[in-house]
Structure 1
């Protein structure tokens, strides 16, 4: 019996993505003045693909069958061939701050949804009282 229908797992993966995005953006902002530092970003496509692959389970009945493997490390992509400063740095602080605010809104939406799930569960446990 699947009590939560995978929704908590999906929300957890979304929160993990948001936390990694936050760390990456904070690292970019911290290195805004570092010469030759290249800005990094978290690839949503890779995170989404990993989430889909993790949802699949496989039972190998023969050694010739393909193995299903998933990585727990989302892809952090370095932005190459971009330079905003004369010292070779590719961090655009305004864009990073904008992405930080967007990520905060995304994180808050996920935590609100998870709180709603827990409130519903509490309501069921209490018998609707």
Structure 2
């Protein structure tokens, strides 16, 4: 039995890793704010996860139901790895740098909130497992 190795927990782990990577990428963008010809980067993960889960369209794989009373399932989702994507198409400064400090700071705050939410979810899941194993005292 995979208590903490299930698909949902692995997706949470991947999301936390993506948030951590995004923190480093945004910090790098901010650090290179005044570097000529620097192009900002971002992390593509949420879009890839949405596509992997088939939320925007029809999922390619589905669990097999052997009884009409079964709940439809799909545990065969792949968990994508986050990728760093560089935006080379824009330039907002005279030095051809495309880092906007206001946008980067808002992305940093948004990412911090996302990271905190994910860590709280993992903590809650582990707490519920512990209560299930030990019982409420």
Fold in common (TM above 0.5): yes
Shorter chain as denominator, the TM-score bin is 0.7 to 0.9
Partner of 2:26: 25
Contact conserved, 1:17 with 1:47, CA < 8 A, in 2?
no
Compute the displacement of 1:73 (Å): 5.3
Contact conserved, 2:14 with 2:81, CA < 8 A, in 1?
no
1:109 maps to 2:117: yes
Q: In the comparison of the two structures, how many residue pairs are matched?
A: 113
| Rounded Cα–Cα distance in structure 2 between residues aligned with 1:6 and 1:105 | 23
Partner of 1:2: 2
Partner of 1:77: 85
Compute the displacement of 1:44 (Å): 2.7
Q: CA RMSD, aligned part only?
A: 2.5
| Structure 1 segment 1-129 matched on structure 2, within 5 A | 1-4=1-4, 5-44=6-45, 47-48=48-49, 74-129=82-137
Higher helix proportion (structure 1 or 2): 1
| Rounded Cα–Cα distance in structure 2 between residues aligned with 1:111 and 1:95 | 24
TM normalised by structure 2 equals 0.71
Unaligned runs of 5+ in 2: 54-60, 62-77
TM superposition outliers: structure 1 runs of 4+ over 4 Å: 49-52
| Rounded Cα–Cα distance in structure 2 between residues aligned with 1:94 and 1:11 | 28
Compute the displacement of 1:47 (Å): 4.2
TM normalised by structure 1 equals 0.75
